[in-house]
Amino acid sequence: MSAETTAPAFEGWAILELMGHRVRPGRVSEVEIAASKMLRVDIPVGVGEDEYVTEYYGGASVYSLRPTSEDIARRMARDRFGADPRPVRPVDYRPAIAASDEAPEYDDVPEYEP
């Protein structure tokens, strides 16, 4: 296909469903990051026009995209997430070990003998 016959990328309000059973209602647009096409979804988190949480997803993770109205997307975001879809406390993948925390002793475990 030539550039003249390529359909324009979708941009608008939609309900984005992802593999892994995540649903993200918001304003969807196609962007390029690191030479890869990705979907950007701006999820409304407040009543103001500029209160959004932005997430990016690769095309392979998209299960479906359902265009909808802004009102429906905002209502679904409010009902699904409450005020904000971000986690209350970010996950610590490797908590720091305090100096007082030492590796446990295993002296009472018998040695394995084949």
Q: What is the pTM of this model?
A: 0.65
Q: What is the DSSP letter of 61?
A: G
* Structure-model confidence comparison of residues 54 and 5, the more confident one: 54
50-81 confidence digits (pLDDT tens): 788 889 999 889 999 999 999 999 888 888 77
pLDDT at 72: 93
* Structure-model confidence comparison of residues 67 and 97, the more confident one: 67
CA proximity to 39, closest of 23, 59, 65, 20: 59
Element (H, E) at 91: none
Stretch 81-95: mean pLDDT, rounded?
Answer: 62
CA proximity to 30, closest of 50, 12, 44: 12
Q: For the chain, what are the domain ranges?
A: 12-81
* Structure-model confidence comparison of residues 32 and 88, the more confident one: 32
pLDDT at 53: 87
94: three-class secondary structure by DSSP: coil
What percentage of residues in the chain have a pLDDT greater than 70?
Answer: 64
pLDDT at 9: 82
Separation between Cα atoms, residue 85 and residue 76, nearest integer Å: 12
* Structure-model confidence comparison of residues 106 and 9, the more confident one: 9
Domain 12-81, CATH number (from 2.60.120, 2.30.30, 1.20.120, 3.30.450): 2.30.30
What percentage of residues in the chain have a pLDDT greater than 90?
Answer: 32
> How do 62-67 and 52-58 pair as beta strands?
unpaired
CA proximity to 45, closest of 73, 83, 15: 83
